[in-house]
Structure 1
Amino acid sequence: MNHSRQALFDTLAQVGKAMGNGHRLTLLERLSQGEAPVETLSSCADLTVGNTSQHLQHLRRAGLVTARRDGRQIFYRLTDERIMQLMCLMRGIAETNLAEMERLLGKLFPESDGAGELEAISRDALRSKLERGEVTVLDVRPQDEFQSGHLRGAINIPVEKLEQMLDQLPKNREVVAYCRGPYCFLSREAVRILRSHGFQVRRLEDGYPSWKAAGLPVDRVGT
């Protein structure tokens, strides 16, 4: 009996071992945006295609990702959307209990928020504003990620194109920008750009994966 119980924990530990690598968490974060080919994943994780494939095989053996072939390309996706919830829990535990997280966050986002320019809005507050029709939601991720899934009713303008497409956004209405998640800089950059052009804008406290993991309304292009 004890042997069988230990075997269960050993099997469960395979998930923890597969996620116990920063590069693999980067890959999972990207896959939480939607399906992607190995080449895109390697660029996102700043790895070679070969190294990326090795990490993906670890994740695949642990049941965290699955793959399909389309011609010469192999596309990966998460096997279970609860993986996003697991990553959110990991982040919350680490930010609460590891002092190093605070130091690293300060290093990643060193800018001052004295003027409130990076003020964030929670998921619940944004949902209420959307239900009342009070806000325009701006997705500043790349187009392929937007097409894989996005907040319902969101406008997609990748952050590098934002200044050339300001006329697509209303100046008399609050804008909420979002991107991949709390460690993504894209929505922060969008807030700075829009504030400099006179827009009333905030960023979503979390990104698309957390919104989706919470069971809130999402859409995909073509659906």
Structure 2
Amino acid sequence: MNIDRKWKDQLYQEFARIGKCLSSPKRLELIDLLAQGPKSVDQLAKNTAMSVANVSQHLQTLHEARLVRFIKKGNFVVYELADMSVANFMVSLHRLSENRLIEIQSLKTELLRDYESMEPIAMEELMERLEKDEVFLLDVRPKEEYERGHIPGAVSIPIEELEKHLSALPANKEIVAYCRGPYCLMSAQAVEIMIRRGLKASRLEEGVHEWHHYFEYSKSPLQTANKQHSM
């Protein structure tokens, strides 16, 4: 075996470590949850309907692959993503899967069946309308997730608190709600509540990480060159 072949075998073996780690649907769900902000093992167990023991085992595998890290806060162990590149990878994985697998598209349609009349606003349109101060952007995730990171200009009202804060929302602007991303129903539920109250509301399908992904891509030299070439 020549040196080049040995080097490549070792290289792809290391790549396969990440692939093997991501082969579990539950670990992918844990990464998606941690992309919204740090969470304790107990919180993750509650959100995924898994036992604390099972969550701990999955987190250990993710930690060994250096995709997550943890800190101790008193009697609690709190996990978070190792860095933003893990969240960006998940955005790319979601988009690739949705583009290549018709099953994903079918499941998404089924998930949003009760809200199919709600046409989502596109990210590019949202950015343009935010610049013109034409919309009110509402983040309906839990407060701690908002504080960890949010789309600039968004106001935080968690979905469970929305009913009691409806009177504070503007009646003269369209309200755009967003949550954890394309596979989260909180924004659709929030829009339904606001429309029943007579407010003009729509939802953004993407979340904060998709916004980061969009912003980085739209500002990239390749994207700029492609736009100039198409003009």
Structure 1: which amino acid aligns with 2:142?
P
1:39 paired residue among 11, 20, 42:
42
The question of 1:67 aligning with 2:70 is answered yes
Alpha-carbon shift at residue 205 of structure 1 (Å) = 2.1
Give me the CA root mean square deviation: 1.5
SS in 2 for 1:202: strand
Greater RCO, CA 8 A, separation 6+ = 1
Deviation readout 1:150-183 (Å, 9 max, x if unpaired): 2222221111221221012101101110000100
Counting matched residue pairs gives 213
| Contact 2:115 2:188 survives alignment (8 Å) | no
5+ residue gaps, structure 1, are 217-223
Structure 2: which amino acid aligns with 1:70?
K
Alpha-carbon shift at residue 112 of structure 1 (Å) = 5.5
2:105 paired residue among 102, 105, 113:
102
Q: For residues 112 and 73 of structure 1, what CA distance do their matches in structure 2 show?
A: 38
2:23 paired residue among 9, 16, 20:
20
Alpha-carbon shift at residue 135 of structure 1 (Å) = 1.2
SS in 1 for 2:69: strand
SS in 2 for 1:74: strand
Taking structure 1 as the reference length, what is the TM-score of the superposition?
Answer: 0.90
Deviation readout 1:124-157 (Å, 9 max, x if unpaired): 2212211221111111111221222222222211
Q: Where does residue 208 of structure 2 map in the other structure?
A: 208
SS in 1 for 2:114: coil
Q: Where does residue 189 of structure 1 map in the other structure?
A: 189
Q: For residues 202 and 87 of structure 2, what CA distance do their matches in structure 1 show?
A: 24
Instruction: Indicate how the Cα distance of structure 1 residues 80 and 213 shifts in structure 2: closer, same or farther if over 3 A, else same.
Output: farther
1:128-147 paired onto structure 2 within 5 Å: 128-147=128-147
1:47-86 paired onto structure 2 within 5 Å: 47-86=50-89
Identity of counterpart residues, as a percentage? 37
Instruction: Indicate how the Cα distance of structure 1 residues 213 and 72 shifts in structure 2: closer, same or farther if over 3 A, else same.
Output: farther
1:111-126 paired onto structure 2 within 5 Å: 111=114, 113=116, 116=117, 118-126=118-126
Q: For residues 166 and 84 of structure 1, what CA distance do their matches in structure 2 show?
A: 32
Q: Which runs of 4+ in 1 moved over 2 A?
A: 212-216
SS in 1 for 2:113: coil
The question of 1:90 aligning with 2:93 is answered yes
Q: For residues 213 and 68 of structure 1, what CA distance do their matches in structure 2 show?
A: 27
